[in-house]
Amino acid sequence: MPRIRLDTDGPVVTVRIDHPPMNAFDSAQRTELAARVRELADARDVRAVVLYGGERLFAAGADIKALAAMGPEEVRGWNRALQRTFDEVARLPMPVVAAITGYALGGGMELALAADYRVAAEDAVLGQPEVQLGIMPGSGGTQRLVRLIGPSRAKNLLMTGRRVGAEEALGLGLVDEVVPAGTVHKAALRYARQLAEGPAAALEAIKEAVDHGADIGVDAGLALERALFTGVFGTRDATTGIRSFIEEGPGKARFGDD
């Protein structure tokens, strides 16, 4: 049975993790996720992606029993592959929204961190509990988390391994929106559809500018922004948007494929 499936709703695709009972990541699930993400990266008709683990939970991390049976070299290769897969999620050219229900722990939280926006159920629980096992996060937890919430807050979560509820996660900036349980996927889809109606090239350029600009100096970041701005200016969506603004006023443009 497939552990990752794609559910299409017009220009929005939900990447559904379906590996009960805990959606834990093992090699088979990681391989399936990587394959599906690569399909999406090249799909011109996909304009936004939602990550979803189902109504019960998002994902509860790695398969610890499988990891316990590995030696150091095997663990290194397994971790490198999972890290690369989550990087591919983060590098998708279209907006990615995580719909977090139940638990998002360890690798599950690291997958959510690879999204551009996170919607959480009011009863969701998030955390990086690896330190409680005598290990550490290895698939982006020490890097994406600090960029999202700052070093002190990130170290607190990483060094204690404590779990946080949705409201605290919202206050920390770990999630962007909290909604009633049972409405998470709908809320994520609603936001994803809103983004999917926007200019695809501009959204991709904005994502690239923010993600890459954060890791370089301001001067280099401004040069990157300038290059991306110039490239976007020549797209069909830019022509449509500018003409609509002049003729109809702001917010009236309807964008299509470039």
Radius of gyration, CA atoms only, the chain: 19
Q: Report the alpha-carbon distance of residue 55 to residue 251 in Å, rounded.
A: 34
> Which DSSP helix (H) or strand (E) runs through 164?
strand 163-165
Q: Name the catalytic one among 130, 167, 177, 197.
A: 130
Please give the pLDDT value at position 225: 92
Q: In the chain, which stretches have pLDDT less than 70? A: 257-258
Encoded amino acid at 56, one letter: R
The DSSP bridge partners found for residue 227 are none
Helix axis angle, 151-160 relative to 141-149, nearest 10°? Answer: 140
- Quick one: tokens of 12? 């929005």
Q: Name the catalytic one among 32, 55, 110, 122.
A: 110
Domains and CATH numbers, the chain: 4-196 (3.90.226.10), 200-248 (1.10.12.10)
Please give the pLDDT value at position 257: 52
H helices, E strands: number in the chain: 11, 9
Provide the residue count of the chain: 258
CB 10 within 8 A of CB 196: yes
Q: Is 197 a residue of the active site?
A: no
State the pTM of this model: 0.93
Please give the pLDDT value at position 256: 77
Q: Is 74 a residue of the active site?
A: no
